[in-house]
């Protein structure tokens, strides 16, 4: 592990830090370094000091990431807690930093008397993650509501970018190399506060009734293939309840994998691979994972 001395920082840097507590699957080995920035300016100062040879990995709530058991080389930056500013710029626009939870953004928008972002209450991650993968649920997608974004480079430079700078598709966003999302500007539509808050409660009730909330999982594991639902294909292949080690396919929703009993990341990764292979063999449909797998092999 490379030893580096960072100066003039207000955030917290941790060496050889286990990542299991930063991921919703509750698995994963240590990172060489973890940085918890105090705010966006502090993050900029930190990045100016990170060697160009050091890999950088980003985590928000860790809900769409599988960290391998041997851990992660370089530095892992945790956006939750530090990049947490959420403000109304004007009656038509909200600025939310990358560490703000998607659910918090949804409720904030609703309380302003706006509509359109209610679906984000069902996304189990942060604004940064939602922007990075065009997260969506209940018929809504993140980038359909984006006015502009702020990114940060390896050198700590913050840029304001328009939608035209990105190629956005279903659960996929192509961004400039070595630039990461640090804030999103979301446009608002006039609505009714009480109706929007009611709609959020209904969506969350539906989510609780159909998904294994309250368990150690990452959200949806696979993208929905064109013309299909991944969960339905997995269920039709008889894979609900299938175990590998301590990991199992949820009985409640087959597109969720649960850390049922002290699973390792290797258990989960093998189960992802196994489910994909069986679905391909039985249906001819290739499932593409939504989850991002990081770390040493």
d(C-alpha 180, C-alpha 46), whole Å? 14
This prediction has a pTM of 0.94
pLDDT at 5: 80
Average pLDDT value for residue range 27-56:
97
pLDDT category at 2 given cuts 50, 70, 90 is low
- Is 74 strand, coil or helix? strand
Q: Are strands 158-162 and 136-137 parallel, antiparallel or unpaired?
A: unpaired
Instruction: Round the average pLDDT of the chain to a whole number and report it.
Output: 96
Question: CB neighbours (10 Å) of residue 207?
Answer: 17
What pLDDT sits at residue 66? 98
Residue 3: per-residue pLDDT = 65
| Residues taking part in catalysis | 171, 220, 290
| Residue 9 confidence (pLDDT) | 96
For 94, counting Cβ atoms within 10 Å of its Cβ (0-12 exposed, 13-18 middle, 19+ buried), the class is buried
């Amino acid at each position: 592990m490379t030893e580096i001395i960072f100066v003039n920082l207000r955030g917290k840097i941790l060496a050889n830090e286990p990542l299991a507590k930063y991921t919703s699957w509750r698995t994963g080995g240590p990172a060489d370094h973890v940085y918890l920035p105090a705010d966006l300016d502090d993050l900029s100062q930190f990045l100016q000091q990170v060697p160009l040879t050091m890999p950088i990995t980003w985590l928000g709530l860790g809900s769409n990431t599988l960290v391998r058991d041997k851990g992660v080389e370089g530095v892992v930056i945790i956006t939750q807690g530090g990049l947490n500013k959420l403000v109304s710029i004007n009656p038509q626009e909200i600025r939310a930093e990358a560490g703000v939870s998607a659910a918090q953004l949804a409720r904030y928008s609703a309380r302003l008397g706006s509509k359109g972002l209610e679906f984000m209450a069902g996304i189990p991650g942060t604004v940064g993650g939602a922007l990075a993968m065009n997260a969506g649920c209940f018929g809504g997608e993140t980038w359909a509501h984006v006015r502009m974004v702020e990114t940060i480079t390896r050198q700590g430079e913050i840029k304001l970018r328009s939608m035209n700078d990105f190629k956005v598709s279903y659960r996929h966003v192509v961004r400039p190399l070595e630039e990461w999302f640090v804030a999103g500007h979301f446009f608002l539509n006039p609505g009714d506060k009480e109706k929007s808050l009611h709609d959020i409660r209904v969506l969350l009730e539906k989510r609780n009734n159909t998904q294994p909330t309250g368990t150690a999982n990452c959200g949806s594991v696979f993208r929905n293939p064109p013309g299909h639902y991944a969960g339905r294909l997995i269920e039709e292949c008889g894979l609900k309840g299938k175990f590998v080690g301590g990991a199992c396919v949820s009985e409640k929703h087959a597109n969720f994998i649960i850390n049922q009993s002290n699973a390792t990341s290797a258990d989960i990764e093998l189960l992802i691979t196994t489910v994909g292979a069986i679905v391909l063999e039985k249906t001819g449909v290739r499932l593409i994972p939504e989850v991002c797998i990081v770390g040493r092999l």
